[in-house]
Structure 1
Amino acid sequence: MNLRSTQVALLAASFVLTGCGSGAVATADRSADNAAGAPAPSASAASSQPSAQSAPDQIPDLGPETLAEIPANSRQAVVVTGKARGSSTSEVVLYRRTADGWQAGAAWPAHNAYKGWSDHHMVGDLQSPIGVFTLTDAGGLLKDPGSKLPYHQSGSFVAPGKGFEGEALAGSFDYVVAINYNRKPGTSPLDWTRPLGAERGGGIWLHVDHGGPTHGCVSVSEAHMKQLLRTLDPALHPVVVMGDAASLAN
C-alpha cells in the first residue's frame, strides 16, 4: 500500500466515529433506500428560472425516474449535481415549488465524496449516495443560527484531522443537516440507528465545506449552510436530490 492509499484509509477510519460517511453512504437500489428513511416515490417535480412568472413545472436536467422520487407534498428541493460520476466537485441549487412552478435559487459550489458517486454505497467506499432523500433534522457544534428544522447542538459534532488534500477538517460540523439515508428521521444527526444495516453506512450530511472532498457528505460554505438552516422548512417537506449529472438525468 503506498503512502497516498494509507492516508486515505486512515482518514476513512477516523470518520467512522463522527459523521460524513460514518459507516459510509449509499443507495443500494432506490426502492430499498426509500424504505429506510428516503421519501416514497411520488408525483411531480421540477424547475429552473428564479422568476415565478417563467418558473417551469419541472426541475431542469432531472429525468423522469429522478422526478418520480420527489414526493408530491415537497415544496423545497436541494439539488446537488456532481460534475461527473467520479468527480468530487458539484453544484447546489435550492428550489422552491410554487403555484407557478419550481423557482431556482442561486447556484453554490460544493464538494461531495472523494471517489464521486454510487447508487449502491457500502461502508468506507468514499462515494456519495445517488437518490432523493428527505431532510428532517439538523444540528452542529455551534448554537442554532435560526434553523427551522429541529436543531441539536452538541460537542460531539467534531471532525478530527485533515482532509484528502491536507486541509484542516475542524469546523466542518459546525452546522449540519442530516440526509435521511439509512437513518431514523426525527432524531439527532448523531443517532446511530441504521435501518438498512451498519454495512450500508450512514452519517451522510450537508455540512460546512473544508476545501476538499468529503467521505460521503455534501459540503457548502458556512454562509450557505446558515442560509439552508434558516430556509429549509419542515412544513414544506424538503428533500435533497443528489448525484452526478448523468444519473440525475435518468
Structure 2
Amino acid sequence: MSRQVVAVVAEHATAATAVLTAWEHTGGDRIRVHGPIPAWIGRDGVGRASESTARTPAGRWPLTEAFGTEPARTRLPYRLITTSDWWVSDVGSPYYNTPFSGAPGTCPFDEAAGENLGAVGPAYARAVVIGYNRDPVVPGAGSAFFLHVTDGEPTAGCVAIPKPDLEVLLRWLDPAKDPVIEIG
C-alpha cells in the first residue's frame, strides 16, 4: 500500500487546471505535507488518455523514477538528460512509452513521434515519470506523461507545477513508501 500520495484534482473533466496536494499516510492518519498548489494539466482535461488527445490520464499511477536537465535531490532513481535522451511515442516501436538514449538521427524509432527530452527546455529541468501505460504497455494508449515544471500553460497531458514545488516533492518522494499520483 502506498504511504505517499500526490493528489491532482480538477474541478471538472474538461478543465486544464487542477489542484495538487501531497499526502503522507502514517498508521491510520493522513497528513498533508505539501500544497494545495495550482497545477496545469492536459488542455483536453482529465480522462482516458491516448496518442490522439491532450488529456491527462485519470487514475492512480506509480511514481518510480525521475529525470531532468539539472541535478536534483531525490531518493527516486534520477538521470540527468541531454539531447540524446528520448521518450518513445512511436506506436509501431517495441520501445513505445519507454526512455531511450541515442544521438538524434540514429534512433531505431520514428524520432518525429518521440520526444527529445533534453531539447524541451526549462519544463524538464526536473520531472517525475507518471507510471501510466507502463506495465503492460499498450501501443496508442498514450505515452510520455510526467509531473514537470510548468511553463504557465496547459500541457499535452502531463501535470505541471512551479519548479520550487516540484523540488519539494522530489526531496519528499521515497521509493520505500511506494509513491503514487492520483489524478481525477
Fold shared, TM-score > 0.5 on shorter chain:
yes
1:52-63 equivalences under 5 Å are none
- The structure having more radius of gyration, on CA atoms, is 1
CA distance in 2, matches of 1:159, 1:107: 30
SS in structure 2 opposite 1:225? helix
**Per-residue deviation, residues 167-217 of structure 1 (Å, max 9, x unmatched):** xxx300110000001125xxxxxxxxx7112x1121100000100100000
Q: TM-score, normalised by structure 2?
A: 0.77
Q: Does 1:154 align with 2:46?
A: no
Q: Does 1:112 align with 2:63?
A: no
Amino acid at match of 2:124: F
Amino acid at match of 1:234: P
**Per-residue deviation, residues 139-186 of structure 1 (Å, max 9, x unmatched):** 11111x2111000101133354xxxxxxxxx300110000001125xx
Bigger strand share: 2
CA distance in 1, matches of 2:125, 2:170: 12
Q: Does 1:122 align with 2:73?
A: no
Query: Which stretches in structure 1 are left out of the alignment for 5+ residues?
Result: 1-72, 161-169, 185-193, 244-250
Are 1:158 and 1:171, in contact at CA under 8 Å, matched by a contact in 2? no
Q: Does 1:229 align with 2:151?
A: no
CA distance in 1, matches of 2:29, 2:15: 31
CA-based RMSD of the aligned residues comes to 1.4
Bigger helix share: 1
Are 2:82 and 2:119, in contact at CA under 8 Å, matched by a contact in 1? no
Q: Residue 178 of structure 1 corresponds to which residue in structure 2?
A: 129
Q: Residue 133 of structure 1 corresponds to which residue in structure 2?
A: 61
Are 1:159 and 1:171, in contact at CA under 8 Å, matched by a contact in 2? no
Query: Which stretches in structure 2 are left out of the alignment for 5+ residues?
Result: 84-116
Q: Residue 91 of structure 2 corresponds to which residue in structure 1?
A: none
Task: Report percent identity of matched pairs.
Answer: 30
Are 1:126 and 1:215, in contact at CA under 8 Å, matched by a contact in 2? yes
Structure 1 segments, 4+ long, off by >4 Å, are: none
SS in structure 1 opposite 2:128? strand
Q: TM-score, normalised by structure 1?
A: 0.58
Aligned pair count reads: 150
Q: Residue 21 of structure 2 corresponds to which residue in structure 1?
A: 93
Are 2:15 and 2:45, in contact at CA under 8 Å, matched by a contact in 1? yes
CA distance in 1, matches of 2:75, 2:169: 9
